[in-house]
Amino acid sequence: MSHIVVVGPGALGILFSVRLSKAGQRVSIFDYRPDRAEYLNEFGLKLLEGQEEVWANPVVFVDPTEIDAPDFVMVLVKAHQTEGVVRELKAICSEQTLVVSLQNGIGAGEILKKAVDEKNIFLGTTTHGANKISWNQARHAGAGPTVLGPLMPQERLSERIDRFVQILCDAGFETKAVCDIYPHLWKKLLINIAINPLTALTGLKNGMLLEHVQTLRLQEMVLKEAFTVLCASGVDLGMDLDGCMALVKQVCEATGENVSSMLQDRLNCRETEIDFMTGAVLNKAREIGIEAPINEMFTNLIRFNSKTKWQQFRKRLPEYPDNAL
Ligand code: PAF
């Protein structure tokens, strides 16, 4: 039995914690909120798998120093919350702990380096979808492959990552490890930049982006620009621009009824992951000295609508004359 710490009891955190516990692993959860941790410890976690309810009772900790050194840590907080768990990760991890981030976008891995030796960091993408219903309940919304790879691409993979891949497979997650994860991360990021900011700005569900000429055109523009930036900086996506556009269309159709994670953040006045999505494309463009005005525009529009700005704006609303609304 391995000891796995899940950092962040969001929808994916509940999915992985419940399934790994049921597969016989020792799972602990780190949560920074004492009230939620107390609730989760009292009532346990519930995962809805179709009609079936699956319950598990992993121990939830607020104090990271109370957690026994784990074999593996799964970082499942939002990308922009990574900085906020650096201190806790330092306290949780030993030299032997392998840290796996399944966070959206590009950039969280660099932040994790502040807490953990880079040779112990693995990044990944998962196509599993889960929706949070309440503090301790989530619904498994869709299954698909999970791919993991080292932060620094390597020629050979270690036995430890092979062991973790096996643990995830045994818990029902179809998983593989690759020597270079970046083409997978960038491909997922292209899907996210063509869906998330547009849904957050328009309020549309994913599938509806395909129903309007304006949103279709904007998807095409943001993708084309990001594709050009990535090609110019030597990222091999293993597909051409038409392939990327077809992939985005396929994901919009497959997740047609989804409210994207960024639209959910926006509706709940939360910070978004934009800096790790179009912001990451912008960083890449700056590294090689080219402009990426469409990605820059989306980054700024969403940043402007960030939690604080949106709340300030809402506060100011009553001051507008009626006819200005
Ligand atoms: O962030 C999200 O919501 C998801 O990654 C995706 C694929 C856009 C589906 O909603």
Please give the pLDDT value at position 259: 86
Please give the pLDDT value at position 324: 45
Q: Where in the chain is the domain with CATH 3.40.50.720?
A: 3-177
Block mean pLDDT (10 aa), the chain, length 325: 96 96 98 97 96 97 97 97 96 96 96 96 91 92 90 92 98 96 96 96 94 98 98 94 96 88 87 96 97 97 74 58 45
Superfamily holding 182-314: N-(1-d-carboxylethyl)-l-norvaline Dehydrogenase; domain 2 (1.10.1040.10)
Single pTM value for the model: 0.90
CA of 129 to the centre of ligand 1 (A): 8
Residue nearest to atom 7 of ligand 1 (CA): 192
Residue nearest to atom 3 of ligand 1 (CA): 260
Q: Where in the chain is the domain with CATH 1.10.1040.10?
A: 182-314
Separation of alpha carbons 104 and 11, rounded Å: 14
Please give the pLDDT value at position 266: 86
Q: State which of 78, 202, 261 you would mutate to test the pocket of ligand 1, scoring each by most atoms of that ligand within 8 A of its C-beta.
A: 261
Please give the pLDDT value at position 307: 58
Please give the pLDDT value at position 128: 84
Please give the pLDDT value at position 257: 85
The residues lining ligand 1, judged by C-beta closer than 6 Å to any ligand atom, are 104, 191-192, 195-196, 206, 251, 255, 258, 260-261
Correct CATH for 3-177 of 3.40.50.720, 3.40.50.11860, 3.30.420.10, 3.40.50.300: 3.40.50.720
